[in-house]
Chain A
Amino acid sequence: MFYLIVRNLGAPRCIDRNNKDVYEDGMSFDCTPHLECSAKEFVKEVEIICTEHPEDPIIAMVFRD
Chain B
Amino acid sequence: MKKLSLLLSGILLLLFVSACTSVKRFKSATYKSQDNTLVDMDLFGSRLTMEGTELSDRNLWELSASAQTQLIQILNERYPDNGQFIRSLNNEYLSRADVAAFDLTEKKLRMVFTISKKRDYKILNHASGRFSPADRIEYLKFSLEIPEKYNLQFKEWNRYATEYGEIEIADMSFSRSFDLDVDGSWATKSDVCGKSSFSRSEAQEVRSRYLKLNGSISDHKIGVEEEGTREIDLTGNVIADVSLEFKGFPERLTIPLYTGESKDGTGGATVAALRFVDVLVPRMKDAPDTIHAVLQLDYIYRHVQSGWKTYQEWDDQVEYYSGTVKKEIALFTKRDYIPNFYGIGTEIGGKTMMKVRRGTGTDYLLQFKDYPDASRFLEWLRSISEDGSISGERRNSGLGVPVMIGKNLLLVNGEPVNMEQLVKTELKVIPLY
Interfacial residues, chain A to chain B (CB-CB below 8 A): 7-11, 13, 30-36, 50, 52-53, 55-56, 58-59
Contact = CB atoms under 8 A, between A and B. Distances in A.
B283 interface: yes
Contacts of B432: 11
Contact of B363 (A34, A58, A59): A34
Q: How large is the interface on B (under 10, 10 to 19, 20 to 34, 35 or more residues)?
A: 20 to 34
A56 B278 contact: no
A8 B281 contact: yes
Contacts, number: 58
A10 B433 contact: yes
A58 B414 CA distance: 26
Contacts of A56: 151, 247-248, 283
A36 B352 CA distance: 11
Contacts of B287: 9-10
Given A9-B284, A50-B250, A52-B278, 18 more contacts: A8-B284, A9-B286, A10-B285, A10-B286, A10-B433, A13-B365, A30-B362, A32-B250, A32-B251, A32-B252, A32-B364, A33-B362, A33-B364, A36-B363, A36-B414, A53-B280, A56-B247, A58-B283
Given A8-B284, A9-B433, A58 B364 contact: no
29 contacts: A7-B285, A7-B286, A8-B283, A8-B284, A8-B285, A9-B282, A9-B284, A9-B286, A9-B287, A9-B433, A10-B286, A11-B432, A11-B433, A13-B365, A31-B249, A32-B250, A32-B251, A34-B355, A34-B363, A34-B364, A35-B363, A36-B414, A50-B250, A53-B249, A53-B250, A55-B248, A56-B151, A56-B247, A59-B285
Given A33-B362, A50-B250, A53-B249, A9 B338 contact: yes
A40 B236 CA distance: 56
B418 to A, nearest CB: 18
Interface of B: 151, 247-252, 278, 280-287, 338, 355, 362-365, 413-414, 432-433
A64 B110 CA distance: 46
A11 B284 CA distance: 10
